Amino acid sequence: MGCCDQPGLMPLNDGIEKILALVNGATATESVELSDAAGRVLASPILAQSPSPSFDNSAMDGFAVKLSDTPLETELTIQGTAFAGKPYLQPLTAGNAIRIMTGAALPQGADTVIMQEMAHYNENCVRFNELVKAGSNVRKTGDDFNAGDRLVAANTLLNAAHIALLASAGCKTVEVYKRTRVALISTGDELKQPGEALNYGELYDSNRPAIRQMLVYLNVEIVDYGSLPDQPELFREAFLKADSECDFVITSGGVSVGEADFTKDILAELGEIDFWKLAIKPGKPFAFGKLPNSFFIGLPGNPVSAMVTFHILASQAIRQHQRIGYKPMKVLKAIIDSRLKKSPGRQDFQRGVWSTSEQGLTVSPAGAFQGSHILTGLAEANCYIALENERGSVEPGEQVDIWLFDEVL
């Protein structure tokens, strides 16, 4: 049976497209120090105000010369020394050379730097056994960029290389979008917090700590509302407060068939929420929609399902709001070394461990079991073994697609 034979199941790509179409990008901006800008998204392009380098300078330690006045095996007088930050200000005169250090400004009259390894020299004079091409070892003005060049485009997620580039252009502050604010709530009478004693039938809340850590890697501002028992008024109060303070409200639990109906009723009362049945495993139950001031994401209650759906779907919604846009995981082909059980009908994201060998890229199932409650396998994994909707069980030696984990997981 294929996906189209199962009424109500939404293909994953359709769910992602719906999310990207519904989520608008952030508009509020703020100015931050460049030293604090890594991981932020640039709100407007940055243009260079001056060239870099702003002067011709030496690429290495050596001797600055005018090549046409520099014969082989002839002693030249060392006229002076140019240091980085302390240029030699007198023009180079014929028959002379100027000792120069890496980064030092090229003295007036010089056009070439001959590295010191090619020279015989003492304190007063130097001669060269071989010469280089004119202009060698000179970093020209504007080699990196010129005034007016665009250094970084708007909507760029700034990394260390961007910070270095902007620092080299003299930028002290940059205009970035304000951090996306995400409210995090877990739900269920059965939940206890790590460190508390468990009674029979209770579970530790692993979803909220897991999703919180994944949000950390997305560089958002997290507002943690804790774990709520199944009480309608507490839900309504928390949803209203979270909606007034945040851009997203993310919950885990309460979106499956058979869950407390009041969750759906309250969400329907407050906004427009769709409860999807996705054609994926794990993570079929998923809710997405709009509250008055924020977007709502309802994750499944099973821990692996919650993390997988956050990773594959919710993180894309957040990136869309951050103006980073859709960022797919890298997909590679690999040879499976074990049998995988699967029934046609849903896209299956089994957890795997990929590695390389003489045979190429191979992948093994992570952990002994693939259940939506089995966190040990997810903790061992470094990829998803992504099996197509229509595919059945997979035998050792078959080729499969693997989705490599990114910075979120």
| Amino acid 6: pLDDT | 56
What is the arrangement of strands in the sheet containing 112-115, beginning at the earlier edge strand?
112-115, 62-65, 96-100, 76-82, 125-128, 119-121
Rounded Cα distance between 317 and 322, Å, is 9
The length of the chain is 409
- Whether the domain at 32-50+150-177 and the domain at 331-404 fall into the same CATH topology: no
Buried b (16+ CB within 10 A) or exposed e, 13-36: eebbebbeeebeebeeeeeeebee
What is the fold, at CATH topology level, of the domain defined by 3-28+178-322?
Molybdenum Cofactor Biosythetic Enzyme; Chain A (3.40.980)
Q: Kindly report the number of other CB atoms within 10 A of residue 259's CB atom.
A: 19
The pLDDT tens digits of the residues spanning 345-381 come to 999 999 999 999 888 999 999 987 888 888 899 999 9
Closest CA to 77 of 151, 127, 34: 127
Residue 247, pLDDT > 50, answer yes
Q: Give 149: exposed, middle or buried? Use CB within 10 Å, 0-12, 13-18, 19+.
A: middle
Span 106-120, mean pLDDT? 96
Q: Which stretch of 225-234, 305-314, 387-396 has the lowest confidence by average pLDDT?
A: 225-234
Is 17:288 a contact under the CB 8 Å cutoff? no
Backbone angles phi, psi at 3, to 5 degrees: -60, -40
pLDDT score recorded for residue 87: 97
Per-residue pLDDT, averaged over 169-187, amounts to: 96
Question: What fold characterizes domain 57-139?
Answer: Molybdopterin biosynthesis moeA protein; domain 3 (2.170.190)
Predicted local confidence at residue 312, as pLDDT: 97
Reduced to 3 states (helix: H, G, I; strand: E, B; else coil), residue 355 is strand
Structure-model confidence comparison of residues 108 and 9, the more confident one? 108
d(CA 89, CA 333): 61
- Residue 102 to residue 209: CA distance in whole angstroms: 50
Q: Show the beta-strand stretches assigned E in 62-124.
A: 62-65, 76-82, 96-100, 112-115, 119-121
pLDDT of res. 265: 81
User: For the domain 32-50+150-177, what is the CATH code?
Assistant: 3.90.105.10
CATH code at 331-404: 2.40.340.10
What are the sequence ranges of the domains in the chain? 3-28+178-322, 32-50+150-177, 57-139, 331-404
**Spatial contact of 305 and 318, defined as CB atoms under 8 Å apart:** no
- Where residue 249 falls among pLDDT bands split at 50, 70, 90? very high
- Tell me which residue of 379, 372, 317, 364 sits closest to 348, measured CA to CA: 372
237, containing H or E segment: helix 232-245
pTM score, whole prediction: 0.88
Residue 240 has pLDDT above 60, yes or no: yes
How many helices and strands (H and E) does the chain possess? 8, 27
Strands 112-115 and 62-65: antiparallel
In this structure, of 53-62, 89-98, 355-364, the range with the lowest mean pLDDT score is: 355-364
